[in-house]
Structure 1
Amino acid sequence: MASRPLLLIDAPSLYFRAYFGIPESAAKAPDGSPVNAVRGFLDMLATLVRTRRPDRMVCAFDHDWRPDWRVALLPSYKAHRVAPEGGEVVPDTLSPQVPVILDALAAIGVPAVGAAGYEADDVLGTLATTQPAPVEVVSGDRDLFQLVDDSRPVRLLYVGKGVAKLDDCDDAAVRARYGVPADRYADFAALRGDPSDGLPGVPGVGEKTAARLIERYGSLAGILTALDDDRSGFAPGLRTKLDAARDYLAVAPTVVRVARDVPLPALGTDLPTAPADPDALLALAEKWNLASPVRRLVDALADRA
């Protein structure tokens, strides 16, 4: 029997999706506070536990959504998401729900992990690299395609269509989607750019051209080496575009690459079959009107045994 996976959850990716996917009017606490993100997040976890049957789980959080070391390399990184008073632009009714999610995870017995100076992606990358396989990373963040590694194995469960319609991605799936292997995704993304992260890319170089360049030269380093060779055969227009972007290309891959060496505390990753603190979970369910999603998650945990 194949061993069960470690499920690594990109918590911000899921709770943002839950917040925007469930109307506030459909999920309120007794005092009228919206709990749509909490309700949706817990239901997503229940679905994942029921369908993936993990025996380990960790939820990763952003302790720094826009690390200084990335901004120093590329000032445009996520700059469009900075609030006028500083910090990330987050809906006013979402921010108060995050502590409730953390309280629920603690009561259930699922580790919630972050690290100063790093994003949730970096925590996921470190755990995917250092924890025993098999590993399944759950996220709607395309940058995490770079974590896919058939040799361990590490897969990305991409939630672009929702948790009920996961795209279960191995290296072949990444190649089919983008035309590059997973371990070249960061170079590909640097070339193509990503407006959602303030990553400009090389003007005039889209997905197809980026993939073709990676296929021909193997990596961004290979492309830049070939660019220095007058015999390399670049079309004049493309050579001009790449030459003009050299300064950007020197730093962009480091910005895009997920860190894999984040200092993390020792973790107990085993997923319980019953809540670690049932009294605290019951009190939380009553306070925030979460009885139904809590019950679905508790049932999923018990059924997995």
Structure 2
Amino acid sequence: MADRLMLLDSASLYFRAFYGVPDTVRAPDGTPVNAVRGLLDIITKLVTTYRPTHLVACWDDDWRPQWRVDLIPTYKTHRVAEVVAGGPDVEVVPDPLEVQVPVIRAALEAVGIRIVGAPDHEADDVIGTLATTATMPVDVVTGDRDLFQLVDDARDVRVVYTARGMSNLEVLTDASVVAKYGVLPSQYADFATLRGDTSDGLPGVAGVGEKTAAGLLATHADLEGIIAAAAASEGMSAGVRAKILAALPYLSVAPKVVAVVRDLPLAVPDTRLHALTPEQRADAFTLAETWALGTAMNRIVAAFDALEAP
């Protein structure tokens, strides 16, 4: 089987699992484990469907890096929980999910899935770096459109998009990004900068929606070309030109916020998937018994076994 790396946008997936499995699913001590069980089943489906040889659970060591907030103060503001003045930003996470995150990490480690994060960076940046430096084809699994910028047919980097649910997974290539938005994946970050994204607190250029943004990029190639054309009053209507020029302070900082980092100095351990050793298997099933993960653990262990079957 040819090598293929799968990169999981971990938080995106465990949030999906949390909302997709009833929180009546609980461990013997009453702790909810719906997100844990759901995430294990999601990974089982992904591994069975796409048969990666390598797998990394990419982690948000910092879900809202200060350097991004310094550039755009509204970045993810709506996701910040109310905290004591002067305290660190805390992401709004439902209590029944927050208590499961340590169990999620323990379950991933129990089945041999490597967890990789980076100080002061989001999982997106870890994914960007690993996808860019990989020496094999890559599948990025996410419900986040920002990662469409990583799609690259020439390097066989695809996005497995989960927004429509695990039964309606969508594999995005160059052609499908163009079909969806009218821009190439290499233009997607500029497209998102122009359009804005309320889910990330990015205002975008006032009055410029997806259609206008795609048209500008088709004509001027990139954000730099669009700004140059607006400054020179070339190839642009007066109305659009005025909108671009009014947004120059935003456009001077937003690209750095929107673009995923691709050059983090990551120390990545061996990410190859293996059938569990007898010792790992015993530990995994002990963890499963403690947290009532039951058949979800059985299924993921069997899926890893199947990868090594002839």
How does the TM-score come out when normalised to structure 1?
Answer: 0.97
2:229 to 215, 220, 226: 226
1:12 and 2:11 matched: yes
Partner residue of 1:65?
Answer: 63
* Alpha-carbon contact 1:81-1:89 (below 8 Å) kept: yes
Show structure 1 runs of 4+ deviating over 6 A.
Answer: none
1:295 and 2:294 matched: no
1:248 and 2:247 matched: no
Q: Equivalents in 2 of 1:107, 1:33: separation in Å?
A: 19
Secondary structure at the aligned position of 1:151 is classed as helix
Tell me the amino acid that sits aligned with residue 233 of structure 1: G
Counting only pairs closer than 5 Å after superposition, residues 121-270 of structure 1 correspond to structure 2 as: 121-230=124-233, 232-270=234-272
Q: Equivalents in 1 of 2:136, 2:208: separation in Å?
A: 36
2:47 to 46, 49, 54: 49
Number of aligned residue pairs: 302
Q: CA RMSD in A?
A: 1.1
* Alpha-carbon contact 1:43-1:296 (below 8 Å) kept: yes
How does the TM-score come out when normalised to structure 2?
Answer: 0.95
Tell me the amino acid that sits aligned with residue 235 of structure 2: G
Tell me the amino acid that sits aligned with residue 55 of structure 2: M
Q: C-alpha displacement at 1:32, in angstroms?
A: 1.4
Q: Equivalents in 1 of 2:178, 2:118: separation in Å?
A: 31
Counting only pairs closer than 5 Å after superposition, residues 266-277 of structure 1 correspond to structure 2 as: 266-274=268-276, 277=280
Secondary structure at the aligned position of 1:228 is classed as helix
Q: Equivalents in 2 of 1:211, 1:5: separation in Å?
A: 32
Secondary structure at the aligned position of 1:13 is classed as helix
Q: C-alpha displacement at 1:274, in angstroms?
A: 2.1
Q: C-alpha displacement at 1:95, in angstroms?
A: 0.8
* Alpha-carbon contact 1:114-1:120 (below 8 Å) kept: yes
Q: C-alpha displacement at 1:294, in angstroms?
A: 0.3
Q: Equivalents in 2 of 1:240, 1:266: separation in Å?
A: 47
| Deviations 1:59-111, CA, capped at 9 Å, x for gaps | 00100000011111111100111111131111111111111111111111110
Tell me the amino acid that sits aligned with residue 266 of structure 2: L
| Deviations 1:176-198, CA, capped at 9 Å, x for gaps | 01110001100000000000000
* Alpha-carbon contact 2:116-2:268 (below 8 Å) kept: no
Q: Equivalents in 2 of 1:267, 1:154: separation in Å?
A: 21
Q: C-alpha displacement at 1:254, in angstroms?
A: 0.7
Tell me the amino acid that sits aligned with residue 282 of structure 2: D
Partner residue of 2:38?
Answer: 40
Gaps of 5+ in 2: 84-88
* Alpha-carbon contact 2:231-2:245 (below 8 Å) kept: no
* Alpha-carbon contact 2:151-2:185 (below 8 Å) kept: yes
Q: C-alpha displacement at 1:266, in angstroms?
A: 3.1
Q: Equivalents in 2 of 1:51, 1:266: separation in Å?
A: 25
Gaps of 5+ in 1: none
* Alpha-carbon contact 1:4-1:53 (below 8 Å) kept: no
Tell me the amino acid that sits aligned with residue 160 of structure 2: L
Q: C-alpha displacement at 1:279, in angstroms?
A: 2.3
